[in-house]
Chains A and B, each alone.
Chain A
Amino acid sequence: ETGVTQTPRHLVMGMTNKKSLKCEQHLGHNAMYWYKQSAKKPLELMFVYSLEERVENNSVPSRFSPECPNSSHLFLHLHTLQPEDSALYLCASSQGLSGFDNEQFFGPGTRLTVL
């Protein structure tokens, strides 16, 4: 256990559904991240939040909508997804953004399948 939890662990949804992924960190960190991991591709950063403010949106389609209500919780709202959005979605947190040794701790991920 890294102190970062994600729910659900598995999700199957149709292209017209709306669902949300939840991430919670119990480490007292100030920064949280969403990553997408697809087969044969590097981890792709989607969003970065620092102190509940979005500091980066890495050209992610609008069908993905993040929400950070406080420094411990991060959501990813999904709507009208495409089959190519099927992937492992990882949440991570860190103490802040800067620092050479600023480790990111990953949650277990949500395996998403879009039919």
Chain B
Amino acid sequence: QKEVEQNSGPLSVPEGAIASLNCTYSDRGSQSFFWYRQYSGKSPELIMFIYSNGDKEDGRFTAQLNKASQYVSLLIRDSQPSDSATYLCAVKQDRGSTLGRLYFGRGTQLTVWP
């Protein structure tokens, strides 16, 4: 079983703060990592993906990957109330019987208060 672990939260931060969301995974063969945002009652939407060690920035979002530690994180700078949602970490292997498959964590619920 491929395990993806996330703190379920809820994580609560004030508007303008940095929100830090963390994810660990068990399979060292994992090759790419995705962060999805899911608003209540809606379907997941992709925020960003990363597959190389280090940081990847896109606007207010930064994904960080450390394959040696099997750890991926998402930082949200200048958090806004509209960022309040559940954030899903997903891990992908691209080999054999798991080709194309995403393994999801349970998600972290983020609340940004004004």
Contact = CB atoms under 8 A, between A and B. Distances in A.
Interface residues of B, number: 25
A102 B100 contact: yes
Interface in A59-115: 90, 94, 96-109
Contacts of B99: 55, 97-98
A42 B31 contact: no
Interface stretch (B12-20, B66-74, B75-83, B102-110): B102-110
Contacts of B107: 42
B51 A108 contact: no
A89 B29 CA distance: 28
Given A42-B4, A106-B45, 16 more contacts: A2-B43, A31-B100, A41-B106, A42-B107, A45-B101, A55-B99, A98-B94, A98-B99, A100-B31, A100-B49, A100-B94, A101-B51, A102-B92, A106-B43, A108-B42, A109-B43
Interface of B: 4, 31-32, 34, 42-46, 49, 51, 88, 90, 92, 94, 97, 99-107
